[in-house]
Amino acid sequence: MTTKSYKRIEAVAKTGAILKYLAGQKEPVPAPVIGHAVSMPTPTVMCHLNTLEEIGFVQGINDHWKLGFGLALIYARVKSALEAEHARIGSEIHKLENGGE
């Protein structure tokens, strides 16, 4: 982290709150319920949801919302990178335990 200070982007924080809320839901949720849960007006939530739907991060189903497959693709990429790092570290440990072989 640099010592330089950067401003917080409120729209990103709001989007994060919506996504985190949806991640904890088992079923699609209507926008007013999301708004209440994240302390935002429904029109604000709808603006975020519509944009998130355009990029595949949420999916609207009959006025209810759930996470979309765009986030699953990001998760899969992060998981794959972590698994590769785990394998690399395991290999390094094995080499160290066996005298560099």
pLDDT score, position 97: 84
Question: Euclidean distance between the first and final Cα of the chain, in Å?
Answer: 36
pLDDT score, position 54: 96
Rounded mean pLDDT for each run of 10 residues along the chain, 101 residues in total? 81 97 97 98 98 96 94 86 89 82 66
